[in-house]
Amino acid sequence: MTTTAERRPGRVGDGDTAGAARRPPGGINRRSPAGQAVRYTLLLVFLIIVLMPAYVLIVTSLKSGREIGVNGQWNLPEHWTFASWDKAWHSLRPSFVRTFELAVPVALISSVLGSANGFVLSRWRFPGADVVFTLILFGMFIPYQAVMIPLRQIVHEIGLPPGIPTLVFVHCVYGIPICTLIFRNYYATTVPVELIEASRVDGAGMLRTYASVILPLSAPGFVVTVIWQFTSAWNDYLFAIFMSNTRNGPITIALNALAGAQSPDYAASMAGALIASLPTLVVYIVLGRWFIGGLMAGSVKN
């Protein structure tokens, strides 16, 4: 007599042991060698396409100006020279230092203010919190070009000196909305409500709770906002061209001046572009995996 378990399809019984042994773990079919070859070929093609501009930058920066016109941009240099790198570095070195003086304070100040705003708006509710949050987010959608003239007038009336101090102020103001959004989502989905309630029971106020409970748990969010703000301030050109000049501005202004207008030095321009991109590249290489982890930490509620 046949039992119900033996007649039921898909049930692993005595007669299905071999099939269960052949089935891959998790029920996922193994990729065929042809499929893997196609996948790696496509990845290699995409990698080559992505690295082509970097190849042109490096190769061109190691040529002399005369060789670029004769040898072209794609061929390797016949005579390797670092003269263009030396020229670019001496031209960009003052602005390179100034840009660090801009990007580091902007990243830290915006992150701290965004963290405090995100905590208050997510875990320390008050009447009108949603309206305040909406008004803060509204700053993300105002085009930079629309506020340049009023912004220059405000900065002039405040009395901020032109150059890096003005740019620090402007980038911090424009960085608060995105940092607030990131931290609000992070705290709302990651920090348990029980921690806040326990701190209140122990008599801790809002500032003490933020300093003793929230900040130690905020490292992933700070990684995201610091990278975001550092990169935005370092690569900015629009604010820099309106609020500074080649004497007191960041590296983007100096890089534009290095490129020239009538007779551009392509080798020095390529070397300068590589020098200007190195800090942000290092930041992403060092903190890249924590950046992705921080973004994902605020996307799923525990």
Lowest mean pLDDT among 61-65, 110-114, 281-285: 61-65
Confidence of residue 294 (pLDDT cuts 50, 70, 90): low
Is there a contact between 5 and 13 (Cβ–Cβ < 8 Å)? Answer: yes
Confidence of residue 293 (pLDDT cuts 50, 70, 90): low
Position 232, amino acid: S
Instruction: Report all structural domains of the chain as residue ranges with CATH numbers, in order of start.
Output: 34-81 (no CATH), 85-297 (1.10.3720.10)
Cα–Cα distance for residue pair 100/275, rounded to 1 Å: 13
Position 33, amino acid: P
Cα–Cα distance for residue pair 147/154, rounded to 1 Å: 10
Lowest mean pLDDT among 6-20, 65-79, 146-160: 6-20
Cα–Cα distance for residue pair 256/248, rounded to 1 Å: 14
Q: With CA atoms as reference, report the closest residue to 246 among 121, 95, 39, 106.
A: 95
| DSSP one-letter code for 262 | S
Confidence of residue 27 (pLDDT cuts 50, 70, 90): very low
Position 247, amino acid: R
Ranked by mean pLDDT, which of 66-70, 84-88, 186-190 comes out on top? 84-88
Query: Is residue 224's pLDDT more than 70?
Result: yes
The encoded tokens of residue 212 equal 């003793």
The per-residue b/e assignment along 75-111, b for 16 or more CB within 10 angstroms, e otherwise, is eebeeeeeebbebbeebbeebbebbbebbbbbbbbbb
**Mean model confidence pLDDT for the chain:** 83
Largest distance between two CA atoms of the chain: 96
Question: What's the rounded mean pLDDT across residues 228-240?
Answer: 93
Identify the pLDDT of residue 297: 61
> Percentage of the chain surpassing pLDDT 70?
83
In the Cβ-directed half-sphere of 270, how many Cα atoms lie within 13 Å? 20
Phi then psi for 124, rounded to 5 degrees? -125, 75
Identify the pLDDT of residue 286: 84
Confidence of residue 93 (pLDDT cuts 50, 70, 90): very high
Asked whether the whole model's pTM tops 0.85, one would answer: no
